[in-house]
Amino acid sequence: MAHFSYLDDYSDMRDVIFRKRSRYKHMDAFTQNVLRGPSELSVQQRELIAAYVSALNACSFCSGIHTQVAVNFGMQEDLIQKLIENEDAAPVEEKMRPVLALVKKLTLSPSKVQKSDIEAIGNKGWSESAAEDTICIAALFNYYNRLMDGHGITGYPGIFKEGAGMLAKHGYKFPGFIVLFMKWFGIKRPVKEI
């Protein structure tokens, strides 16, 4: 249930980031860079990390959307659920196991991350840059999870498919024409800066 009078059960992230656009617009480029910019990690692997962080945090909105985005890029549909149930038995490529172990530790007990966690990633053939990308994605989605949960935005199946389709096709940039398009066609979004 949404926690603010300007939100309802069908609200999503756009209702927050377009409401105070000057506050959130800078996150668009950062998110686009982290999830779609150059990286050793594929887009599918980065979306897997985003979905895994969100599932570990039980953030239904981000978990729902990013699981679907990762599926759109070829991830097994029930992989996130299998990781949550038993990460050791989940069908994940061996190279990703230390990456996901770092993601879990950074999400659930961040002060316990050690040099050995980074070294474990390197031991599987990843560079330090890939480890840094992993940290950025995990940190970013811990932020987004708190933003959505704090506003009481939980999502619903329709927005998971719609949002995932849009993100898979266009990435994370929200140019002004999208805001105008929604306004012209009466799509409910609080686009007025307050």
* Residue ranges of domains in the chain: 40-170
Task: Give a three-class secondary structure readout of 137-187.
Answer: HHHHHHHHHHHHHHHCCCCCHHHHHHHHHHHHHHCCCCCHHHHHHHHHCCC
Rg (CA), the chain: 17
pLDDT of residue 176: 52
State the architecture of 40-170 in CATH terms. Answer: Up-down Bundle (1.20)
155 pLDDT above the threshold of 50: yes
Q: Say yes or no to pLDDT of 180 above 60.
A: no
Mean pLDDT of 103-124: 97
Name the band, by pLDDT with cuts 50, 70 and 90, for residue 194: very low
Confidence of residue 175 (pLDDT cuts 50, 70, 90): low
For the chain, give the percent of residues with pLDDT over 90: 68
Higher-confidence residue: 3 or 71? 71
**Rounded to an integer, what distance in angstroms lies between the CA atom of residue 181 and that of residue 189?**
11
pLDDT on residue 189: 46
Rounded to two decimals, what is the model's pTM?
A: 0.89
Answer whether residue 139 shows pLDDT above 70. yes
